Chains A and B, each alone.
Chain A
Amino acid sequence: MISDPDVIGLLYLVAIVCFILALRFLSSPKHARRGNWLGGVGMIIAIATTLLREGIGNWALIVIGAAIGAAVGLVGARKVKMTAMPQMVALFNGVGGGAAALVALAEFHTSGGDLVWDSALSTVLSALIGSISFAGSLVAFAKLQELVSGRPIVFPGQNIVNIVVLAAAVVIGIAIVGGLESQWAIDVLVVLALIFGVMFVLPIGGADMPVVISMLNAFTGLAASATGFVLHSTVLIVAGMLVGASGTLLTLLMAKAMNRSVANVLFGAFGQVQAGAGQARADDGRTVRATTADDVAVQLSFARKVIIVPGYGMAVAQAQHDVRQLADLLEEKGVDVKYAIHPVAGRMPGHMNVLLAEANVPYTQLFEMDEINPEFPQTDVALVIGANDVTNPAARSDQSSPIYGMPILDVDKAASIVVMKRSMNPGFAGIDNELYLDPKTTMLFGDAKESVLKLIGAVKAM
């Protein structure tokens, strides 16, 4: 039993240092894993210290709750496929936010609503942000898991409804800080925040998920931090804020990679606006050329340099292992193979890197956009596997295009381009890709995995 608050504070400080070092170790893949272990140690210290604090009871409930949570978390973490990682992260964001909101509710109840203004403010913020994060994350999860459509769900006046809901929640929050002590007030606040969480993620399309997930991550961190103010716990304040900073930074990075403001991503309902855009170009006589796996195999085998451009299509088809096998075969034939990774390829920051790492592709073969773009002009074949908008030259040239200004991979500068695609459906942004009409481009239609397997067969047969 620890009763000295100084000892408790010092032990929490040790936990804080562990968390900071854990994040520092993430600066290189070499010792990143050690960092996570250190973070684990910090968490154990924080939990043990809390359990040993004076006045902690209800042991049976604590143990049962922890056992249920641990079982769910462990099974989820073990079973989840790497392709489903964005959903998993969304889900953990949600449960963390939910827990923060619940703690705030409990503290409000304990105090009987009789709070000093600063405690009231922290409680309100924790409940508000935590609830938004909880509901928003569950919707993001449902979208990524395709329980609901990944396309933007919009209705007229949506932004106005959202603003009204949020404003109502904020007004009630201010009233609580101002001295309104009723239980119903905080209940209504939570309900409004939950509604807002659902409503603000619903209209956001699949391709914008990297921004949304990063932002929900930041929200949950901030909610935890606010909870820290409620409980006067430094470890919660610091750890929560570290997550808040991380999520905010990632949100800004992702938005920048799409050359759009965060506000535009959140309220733009991308993919709905430009029904007619890009249609005219398809009628100018140029046509899409389809090809066969055998032809592509010849092209690849006799190339000196091949750059593979993976996208969400590869993730959906779970083709990463086969892609790597194809790359290995080509390397054995003396072909120089590299991978080009666009920052927003996939559904979360760094999604492609994780999938390729899972397939044992050494990370030294993966190149970021700025590193690889100068190499496309010297490349014989650019092999685009399930990527679309991040290769669309319209982003460079067509001012009327909704993705104009977004930095892209300069795939069109390669000597020849092979695009593996399920069908001619436009990407998530809902716009035609001019790359497909380029005379240097050939299309290999079909499921990414099946196409890659056919390619492997054809390359082996040569």
Chain B
Amino acid sequence: MTDVGSLVFVVELTILVLAAFLGFEVISKVPTMLHTPLMSGTNFIHGIVIVGAILVLGEADDTYLKTIGFIAMVLATANVVGGWFVTDRMLEMFKRRPEPGEREPKK
């Protein structure tokens, strides 16, 4: 373990590959009818770049970094908040056939 820098890289690469296999496993169990919520749900999850945006903006010490970080912050927050609410709205709609008694009132 002479070169710690590249060891970190290899460990991170390992995590990446394992996450890829895990992702394929988990996603392949999602039924076709939920593919749109899956897309918007994963949309929400890639909003995790907000962590990067906070780090950049929070540690920014010149105008260039502040500008870039600020834009990234706006985009990432829109991604997180919008992605989550859209997914929630969609999933709320998926219902089973209501029981005869609880059928919604007509007219």
Instruction: Name A residues whose Cβ lies closer than 8 Å to a Cβ of B.
Output: 19-20, 22-24, 26-30, 32-33, 35-37, 39-40, 43, 46-47, 50-51, 53, 55-58, 61-62, 64-66, 68-70, 72-74, 76-78, 80, 82, 85, 88-89, 92-93, 95-96, 98-100, 102-103, 105-107, 109-110, 116, 118, 213-214, 217, 220-221, 223-225, 227-250, 341, 343, 348-351, 353-354, 357-358, 360, 362-366, 368
Inter-chain contact B97/A364, CB cutoff 8 Å: yes
- Interface contact A39-B52, CB-CB below 8 Å: no
Cβ of B6 under 8 Å from chain A: yes
Interface residues of B in 40-98 (CB under 8 A from A): 40-60, 64-66, 68-98
Check A224–B78 contact: CB distance below 8 A.
Answer: no
Across the interface, name the chain A residue whose C-beta is closest to B84.
Answer: A40
CA A368 to CA B81, docked complex, whole Å: 32
CA gap between A110 and B51 in the complex, in Å: 17
- Contacting A73 at CB < 8 Å: which of B56, B58, B77? B77
Answer yes or no: B2 CB below 8 A from chain A CBs.
no
Q: Separation in Å of the B76 CB from the closest CB of chain A?
A: 4
- Write the B1-12 contact mask toward A (1 if CB under 8 angstroms, else 0): 000011011001
CA distance A38 to B82 in the complex (A): 16
| Bound-complex Cα distance A66 to B34 (A) | 30
Question: How far is B5's CA from A353's CA once the two chains are assembled, in angstroms?
Answer: 48
Across the interface, name the chain A residue whose C-beta is closest to B11: A234
Is the CB–CB distance between A362 and B40 below 8 Å? no
The verdict on A89 contacting B12 (CB below 8 Å), with A245-B20, A357-B95 known, is no
Find chain B residues with CB under 8 A from A58 CB. 57-58, 60, 66, 69
Contact A36 B33 (CB under 8 A): no
Is the CB–CB distance between A24 and B37 below 8 Å? no
Interface of A is mostly: helix
Return chain B residues, CB-CB under 8 Å to A39: 41, 44-45, 84
Contacts of A92 in B (CB 8 A): 40, 43-44, 47, 78-79, 82-83, 86
Interface of chain B, main secondary structure: helix
B12 touches A234 (CB 8 A): yes
**Hey, which chain B residues are within 8 Å of A43, CB to CB?**
44-45, 47-48, 50, 80, 84
| A288→B79 CA distance, assembly (Å) | 48
- With CB as the reference atom, state the residue of chain B lying closest to A57: B58
| Pairwise interchain contact A353-B75, C-beta atoms closer than 8 A | no
Determine if A28 and B31 form an interchain contact, defined as CB atoms under 8 angstroms apart: yes
Query: For residue A69, which residues in chain B have a CB less than 8 angstroms away from its CB?
Result: 73-81
- Give the residues in chain B near A37, CB-CB below 8 Å: 88
Number of residues on chain B facing chain A (CB within 8 A): 82
Interface centre among B32, B71, B78 (most CB of A within 10 A): B78
Q: Smallest CB–CB gap between B66 and chain A, Å?
A: 6
Q: Which residue in A46, A66, A247, A350 is a CB contact (below 8 Å) of B77?
A: A66
B residues less than 8 Å from A349 (CB atoms) = 32, 35-36, 38-39
Q: Does B100 touch A at the CB level, under 8 Å?
A: no
Give the nearest-CB partner of B51 in chain A: A50
List, in ascending order, chain A residues with CB within 8 A of B96's CB: 29-30, 362-364
For A92, give the chain B residue with the smallest CB separation.
B43
CB distance from A435 to the nearest CB of B (A): 23
Residue from A36, A80, A242, A364 whose CB has the most chain B CB atoms within 10 Å: A36
15 pairs, A vs B, C-beta closer than 8 Å:
A23-B45, A29-B94, A39-B41, A43-B50, A61-B60, A77-B85, A85-B90, A100-B49, A217-B43, A220-B46, A244-B23, A245-B19, A349-B38, A353-B32, A362-B97
- Contact: A363 with B94, CB < 8 Å? yes
Which residue from B5, B6, B57, B88 sits with its C-beta under 8 Å from A61? B57
**Which residue, A46, A69, A249, has most C-beta atoms of chain B within 10 A?**
A69
Contact of A221 among B22, B46, B53 (CB under 8 A): B46
Chain A hits for B93, CB < 8 A: 82, 354, 357-358, 360
* Bound CA span A225–B46, Å: 9
Q: Which residues of B contact A82 (CB under 8 A)?
A: 90, 93
From known contacts A66-B77, A221-B46, A242-B22, infer whether A118 and B90 are also in contact, taking CB-CB under 8 Å: no
**CA of A246 to CA of B20, assembled, Å:** 9
A409 to B66, CA, bound (A): 54
Residues B56 and A353 in contact, CB atoms below 8 Å apart = no
Contacting A217 at CB < 8 Å: which of B42, B66, B69?
B42
- Do A70 and B78 touch (CB < 8 A)? yes
Q: Is the CB of A74 within 8 A of B81?
A: yes
Contact pick for B36, options A98, A110, A220, A348, CB 8 Å:
A348
CB-defined contacts of B6 to chain A, threshold 8 Å? 118
Question: In the complex, how many angstroms separate the beta carbon of B8 from the nearest chain A beta carbon?
Answer: 7
Which residues does chain B contribute within 8 Å of A26, judged by CB atoms?
30, 34, 37-38, 41
Q: Which of A240, A241, A350 is B37 in contact with, Cβ under 8 Å?
A: A350
- Chain B residues near A220 (CB-CB < 8 A): 43, 46
